């Protein structure tokens, strides 16, 4: 399928050279007390720090592991400040550009064939959605649920009975553009579900009784930008009124305590919430689709990276959801299953106490809408590569995550009406 772009957009895109990250560094700092946490916050005000974990300055707290990217020019200043204040730190990545190039460490098996061991750009993913429909016409259908701000289609793949309405799980990947292992998992899930149906006992049982709605790339425009112009891009590509800064963090744009964290108000921030709840076309398309299928959807799962966590509500309050014990039980089932393959350890718990407070997240929104099983995976790794997980880790990551999803789905099938 050919994607036709307006000439003005093509001209603008061609005029911008891809960003390079030569000799940029990623630091990991563990502030021992609030004074040291404040030093990091002060450094962020005076320097351009790209926070990898947590996602923004205001989340930084004592005894928290903090990962951030810094330019070559500013790295010496940062290092000196950390040394002067006797702060414990390590440099995770010494040359970011080098790591970006090294992440493509798997050779294509057969040129032209869709590879599940490699990262695939948007063009390849679109072609793959068509291939899946053609190969499994009885099991896979493609639904266009909307378009992005740059007029790219938002496709959901439905796996299961085409016309029958039954219990369903909605899964989305790639809400943050730079988290490439996330869309890789959604592709792997569709591939394995269709390939193992009739062969694998659990998958066969699940697909005989449930449907899966898979959104392989939520933030299509941002994903394209991360491939073509800026590997570290996170937000979507919408223009912001009265600001030169582009993009909204789609995972702060949902109507779930949207207004509660003041630091998400800045359009130039990586976690900018947007001008209003559901202001973004991508968010609106997903919320409209889920609302219209609410009688079917029993589970919502969203996939992110990195940090090896399985999260559930809430992010915007310390209050535990009414079915907290059940969510914790299901999360334990999922993380236990995941660890059986390669002994990869995940922690689990409510967003706010396990990772950091968030407002406007898709997870909390889906829960408050009435979907009582909502989870967010933070996939591999724990920071050695961060967002630049090498391709050689795609398959292991997908295999172990597949086990977790299957066991979660199996529990839901048994325990929901």
Of the residues 270, 378, 391, 400, only one is catalytic, namely 378
Rg of the chain (C-alpha set): 21
Q: What is the dihedral of CA 185, 189, 190, 194, to 10 degrees?
A: 150
ω before 381 within 30° of 0 (cis)?
yes
Active site residue 391: no
Beta bridge partners of 311: 349, 376
For residues 43 and 57, give the distance between their C-alpha atoms in angstroms, rounded to a whole number: 10
Q: What is the bridge-based pairing of β-strands 211-215 and 153-159? A: antiparallel
CA atoms within 13 A on the CB side of 200: 13
Which parts of 85-159 fold into alpha helices (H)?
Answer: 96-102, 122-135
CB-based contacts of 39-46 (< 8 A; 24+ apart in sequence)? 39/81, 39/85, 39/87, 40/66, 40/68, 43/78, 43/81, 44/68
Cβ distance 382 to 306 under 8 Å? yes
The Cα–Cα gap between 226 and 176 comes to: 10
Contacts of 114 (CB under 8 A, 6+ apart): 120, 124, 127, 128, 131, 187
From the CB of residue 199, how many other CB atoms can be counted at a distance below 10 Å? Answer: 8
Q: How far does Cα 164 stand from its chain's mean position?
A: 30
* HSE-up (13 A, CA, CB side) for residue 76: 2
- Residue 130 and residue 50: Cα distance in Å, rounded? 37
Report, as residue numbers or ranges, the catalytic residues.
378
């Amino acid at each position: 399928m050919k994607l036709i772009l307006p000439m003005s957009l093509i001209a603008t895109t061609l005029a911008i050279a891809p960003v390079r990250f030569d000799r940029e560094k990623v630091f990991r700092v563990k502030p021992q007390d609030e004074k040291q946490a404040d030093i990091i916050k002060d450094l962020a005000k005076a320097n351009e720090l790209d926070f990898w974990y947590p996602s923004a300055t205001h989340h930084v707290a004592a005894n928290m592991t903090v990962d951030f990217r810094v330019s070559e020019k500013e790295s010496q200043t940062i290092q000196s400040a950390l040394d002067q204040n006797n702060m414990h730190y390590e440099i995770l990545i010494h040359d970011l550009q080098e790591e970006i190039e090294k992440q493509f460490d798997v050779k294509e098996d057969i040129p032209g064939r869709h590879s599940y061991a490699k990262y695939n750009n948007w063009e390849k993913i679109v072609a793959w959605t068509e291939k899946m429909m053609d190969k499994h016409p009885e099991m896979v259908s493609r639904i266009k649920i909307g378009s992005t701000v740059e007029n790219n289609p938002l496709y959901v793949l439905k796996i299961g009975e085409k016309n029958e309405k039954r219990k369903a799980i909605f899964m989305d990947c790639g809400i943050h553009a730079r988290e490439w292992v996330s869309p890789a998992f959604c592709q792997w899930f569709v591939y394995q579900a269709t390939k193992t149906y009739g062969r694998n006992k659990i998958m066969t049982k699940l697909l005989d009784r449930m449907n899966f709605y898979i959104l392989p790339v939520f933030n299509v425009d941002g994903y394209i930008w991360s491939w073509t112009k800026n590997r570290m891009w996170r937000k979507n590509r919408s223009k912001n009124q009265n600001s030169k800064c582009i993009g909204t963090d789609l995972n702060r744009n949902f109507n779930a305590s949207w207004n509660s964290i003041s630091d998400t108000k800045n359009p130039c921030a990586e976690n900018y919430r947007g001008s209003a709840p559901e202001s973004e076309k991508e968010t609106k398309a997903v919320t409209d689709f889920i609302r219209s299928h609410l009688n079917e959807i029993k589970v919502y799962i969203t996939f992110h990276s990195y940090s090896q966590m399985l999260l559930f509500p809430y992010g915007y309050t310390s209050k535990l959801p009414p079915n907290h014990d059940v969510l914790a039980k299901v999360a334990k089932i999922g993380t236990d299953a995941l660890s059986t393959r390669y002994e990869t350890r995940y922690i689990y718990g409510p967003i706010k106490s396990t990772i950091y407070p968030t407002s406007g997240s898709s997870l909390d929104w889906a829960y408050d809408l009435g979907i009582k099983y909502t989870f967010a995976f933070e996939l591999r790794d724990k920071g050695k590569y961060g967002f630049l997980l090498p391709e050689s880790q795609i398959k292991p990551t997908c295999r172990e995550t597949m086990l977790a999803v299957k066991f979660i789905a199996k529990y839901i099938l048994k325990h929901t009406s």
